[in-house]
Amino acid sequence: MQKKGTAGRTGAGRDRLPRAGTAGTGSRSQATRERILDAAERLFAQRGFYGISVRDITGAAEVDVALASYHFGNKQGLLEAVFMRRAEDLNAERSARLDAVLAAAKGRRPPKIEDVIDAFTHPLLDRSSRGSPGWKSYFALIAEVNNSPEFGGVLMSRFFDPVVEKFIDAIRRALPDCEERDLYWAYHFLSGALTLTFAETGRIDKLSGGACRSSDLDSVHERLVPYCAAGFRALCAAKRATPRPSRTAKSRK
C-alpha cells in the first residue's frame, strides 16, 4: 500500500537538482520555479498532497511536467519548497513583533497576553486577507497539513516551531505562574482555532445562516485574540486556585 508511483527509483532524483548557489540566478529559471510553486500552492491547498498530481500542477503552471522533478527533485520536495518559500518572511515578522511587544513592556510589568497573541497571529491573518492571493492558498495548505497525522508533526515543526517557542516564551513572561503543560496545551488550542480559520471551509457560513463568513478574517481576528487570551488566563488561574499555594510565597516571578 505504500509506493504509488513507479518503483524503479535507484538514486533519489535529488542528484540532478540545480546546485543551490549557482543556479536559479537566471531569470528564466527563477520564473519557472515561481510558476510551479504558485500552482502547487493553490492546488495542494484545494485537495491536499495526494489529491493533486504533478501533472495537475505543471499543467496549471503551463510548463513541462519534467520541470517539477528538475527543479524540486520530486513531489515531496515540491511540497516542502512551497512551505519554505513564505515561511521565512512570516517567521521574520512574527519574531520582530514579539520582540517589539517584549521591548515595550521592558522592565515594567509583564506584557499583555493580548499583545503577545496579536504579534503571533496578525502577520498571518493580515497576509491571508490583504496579501497576494497566494497567501490565502498558503494558509489553507497549512490548515490541512497541521491536522494531518502524516505531515502535521514533521512539516509544521520544522518550519514554524522555532518562532512558536519564542511565542510561548513571551506568554510565559505574561503569565509567570502558569504551569508548563498548561502553557503548551493552551497554545495547542490556539493553533487549532487559528488553522481551522485558515481552511475557510464555509461550514460556519452555513451553520450561522450567513451571519458569519469564513472569508471575513478581520472579524475572526478581533474575536480570536480575546477568546484565546481568556483561555490562557483561565488555564493558569485554575492551577493557581485549586491547590491553593500560599500565594505570597508562590507568586514569585
Partner DNA sequence: AATTTAGTTGAACGTTCGTTGAAATTCAAC
Partner DNA sequence: GTTGAATTTCAACGAACGTTCAACTAAATT
Any contact of residue 211 with a copy of itself (CB under 8 A)?
yes
Q: Identify which of residues 23 and 100 has a Cβ nearer to DNA in the complex.
A: 23
How many binding residues for a copy of itself (CB under 8 A)? 76
3-state SS, the chain, equals CCCCCCCCCCCCCHHHCCCCCCCCCCHHHHHHHHHHHHHHHHHHHHHHHHHCCHHHHHHHHCCCCHHHHHHHCCHHHHHHHHHHHHHHHHHHHHHHHHHHHHHHCCCCCCCCHHHHHHHHHHHHHHHHHHCCHHHHHHHHHHHHHHCCCCCHHHHHHHHHHHHHHHHHHHHHHHCCCCCHHHHHHHHHHHHHHHHHHHHCCCHHHHHCCCCCCCCCHHHHHHHHHHHHHHHHHHHHHHHHHCCCCCCCCCCCC
CA torsion sign for 31, 35, 38, 40 is: negative
| Residues from 52 through 111 that contact a copy of itself (CB under 8 A) | 52-53, 55-56, 59-60
Residue among 181, 215, 245, 250 that touches a copy of itself (CB under 8 A): 181
Site string for a copy of itself, 129-168 (x = CB under 8 A): -----------x--xx-xxxxx-xx--xx---x--xx--x
- Distance, CA of 155 to chain centre: 10
If one asks whether residue 224 binds a copy of itself (CB under 8 A), the answer comes out as: yes
**Nearer to a copy of itself by C-beta: 107 or 149?**
149
82 contact choice in a copy of itself, DNA, none (CB below 5 to 8 Å, kind-dependent): none
Q: Which three cell numbers stand for residue 27?
A: 531569470
Q: What is d(CA 34, CA 13) in angstroms, rounded to the nearest whole number?
A: 20
Q: Binding partner of residue 66 among a copy of itself, DNA, none, CB under 5 to 8 Å per kind?
A: DNA
Q: Which partner from the list DNA, a copy of itself, none does 92 bind, CB cut-off 5 to 8 Å by kind? A: none
Binding of DNA by 8 (CB under 7 A): yes
Contact call for residue 245 and a copy of itself (CB under 8 A):
no
171 binds a copy of itself, rule: CB under 8 A: no
11-50 binders of DNA (CB under 7 A): 11-13, 16, 18-19, 22-26, 28-29, 31-32
User: Does the protein bind a copy of itself through residue 203 (CB under 8 A)?
Assistant: yes
128 binds a copy of itself (CB under 8 A): no
Footprint of DNA (CB under 7 A): 1, 3-9, 11-13, 16, 18-19, 22-26, 28-29, 31-32, 52-56, 63-71, 74-76
